[in-house]
Structure 1
Amino acid sequence: MGVSTTAPEAGVAVVTVDFPPVNALPVHGWYALAAAVRTAGTDPEVRCVVLTAEGRGFNAGVDIKEMQRTEGYGALLGANRGCAEAFAAVYDCPVPVVAAVQGFCLGGGIGLVGNADAIVASEDAAFGLPELDRGALGAATHLARLVPQHLMRALYYTARTATAEELHRHGSVWRVVPRTGLRAAALELAREIAAKDGALLRLAKTAINGIDPVDVHRSYRFEQGFTFEANLGGLSDRHRDAFLAGGGERR
């Protein structure tokens, strides 16, 4: 359990997240993920990073149970800072990052894939932000990188999800494959990327980030401010308690 890194072939590092039962990451998990991506990206032998996960789904966001059992705002602050660190690690990774997504990709998962360079998804993958149902805000910055503006707003306000095929039609998912072929498909794309000159790939990643029309760091930080406002006003605890009372881990 935790975050691990493997090197299945030359030039490719695979960072795998495994926090059963649903990959809802505790505070330390977000920091561990950030550290693993940064370490892989700064390895001069690595030319592409694949971000993947074990289990039923790719990512279910933050560990709400940890937040609700912690006195004060320590877990809230830790989760927000940890998410920001992990999202930034993916975006700022010196080499391209390919996200391999299966099952649910929710909340913080959207922050990760929205900041990735390419996404390969299984046929059962679903992407969404249930934030309003969990007493939180955030990651609209990253959802807006996956779908058009008005669809992003509708998905955000309703907490509905979009399928992998829908995102493929919008051009944000590279390929949709059976779950059994997800890892192979992600490695195939990573292998094609890693075949390029490593120095040029790093220059290309810096150049593409430099012309990005949205400053993802600043816009996500702006969103986080409203999450803190909701928490200080008591809205967040009410929604998180209701979520946990209803079973919590059901997805």
Structure 2
Amino acid sequence: MAVSTSVPRDGIAVVTVDFPPVNALPVRGWYDLASAVRTAGADPQVRCVVLEAAGRGFNAGVDIKEMQRTAGHDALIGANRGCYEAFAAVYDCEVPVVAAIHGFCLGGGVGLAGNADAIVASEDATFGLPELDRGALGAATHLARLVPQHLMRALYYTSRTATAHELHQHGSVWRVVPRAELSTAALELATEIAAKDGSLIRLAKSAINGIDPVDVRHSYRFEQGFTFEANLSGVADRHRDAFVSVKSTEGEQP
């Protein structure tokens, strides 16, 4: 289980997440991801970062089993803070971040994708927030960057997913390609971005973030307050216990 960084082409750093079996990240994983993205973006030789994942899907959110086997609220607080750091690292990365999405992109995966500068997705990619089914709240901030407001609300309330092709129609996914071509397509876009002047691309990233209509850091932190409220009330534990019980019977599925 690891977060690794490679440099396949001049000016491009690829951050790869690999936490089998479904890339549901433990607390430490979120912090490692944040550190890797920030380090890559701070490298003066890097002009674009590609964020990808190994395995069956891009990201299945937080490791709920870790949360349920940890007494008290330490794991919950750790997951909240870790997700906040990872999402912010993508958004605040000094250079553009291209997210390469395959398979499932759920919960925290939407947080990462929603804060990326561009998304390339495989044909099998699906995006969604099953938070209400998991006893949590959050990342509506980021889903709202991928789909229109009313669709975001319907997806959030129902825990349904949207396909890569649907998001492409809404303009939030740059390209949809066969899964075997995902890495190549993401690198092609990253290469085009990385061909720009490094100083200018950093200024452009800062300028575009500065004109965002919503401060994603504060709005997500606001959402997290309700997640903690759900935990204090006990409703979150009931839903997470049920989820862990079902998944233990069925085997690991996102």
Q: Does 1:57 align with 2:42?
A: no
Q: Which position in structure 1 is the counterpart of 2:143?
A: 143
**Residue number in structure 1 paired with 2:189:** 189
Q: Which amino acid aligns with 2:230?
A: A
Offset at residue 250 of structure 1 (A) = 1.8
The letter for the 2-side match of 1:7 is: V
Q: For the aligned residues, what is the CA RMSD?
A: 0.5
1:99 paired with 2:99, answer yes
Moved more, 239-248 or 173-182: 239-248
Report the TM-score, using the length of structure 2 for normalisation: 0.98
| Deviation sequence 1:112-139 (CA, Å, 0-9, x none) | 0000000000000000000000000000
Instruction: Note the C-alpha offset of 1:173.
Output: 0.2
Distance (whole Å) between structure 2 residues aligned to residue 224 and residue 38 of structure 1: 22
Structure 1 equivalent of residue 120 of structure 2: 120
Runs of 4+ in 1 over 3 A off after TM superposition: none
Are 2:134 and 1:131 aligned? no
Secondary structure at the counterpart of residue 247 of structure 2: coil
Stretch moving more, 241-250 or 127-136: 241-250
The amino acid that maps onto 1:160 is: R
Q: Which residue does the alignment assign to 1:27?
A: 27
Residue-pair matches, total: 251
Question: Could you tell me how far 1:158 is from its partner in structure 2?
Answer: 0.1
Structure 1-normalised TM-score? Answer: 0.99
**Which whole-Å deviations, capped at 9, do the CAs of 1:44-68 have from their partners, x for residues lacking one?**
0000000000000000000000000
Instruction: Determine which of 233, 238, 253 is the counterpart of 1:250.
Output: 253
1:13 aligns with 13
Matches within 5 A, 1:88-237: 88-237=88-237
Return the alpha-carbon distance in structure 2 between the equivalents of residues 233 and 210 of structure 1.
37
Q: State how far apart, in whole Å, the 2-side matches of 1:119 and 1:40 are.
A: 18
d(CA) in 2 for partners of 1:247 and 1:231? Answer: 21
Q: Residue 31 of structure 1 aligns to a residue in which SS? A: helix
**1:237 partner amino acid:** D
Cα displacement (A) at 1:75: 0.2
Aligned residue type for 2:253: R
Question: Structure 2: 5+ residue runs without aligned partners?
Answer: none
Q: Unaligned stretches of 5+ in structure 1? A: none
1:227: Cα distance to partner? 0.2
Supply the distance in 1 between the matched residues of 2:86 and 2:143 (Cα, whole angstroms): 16
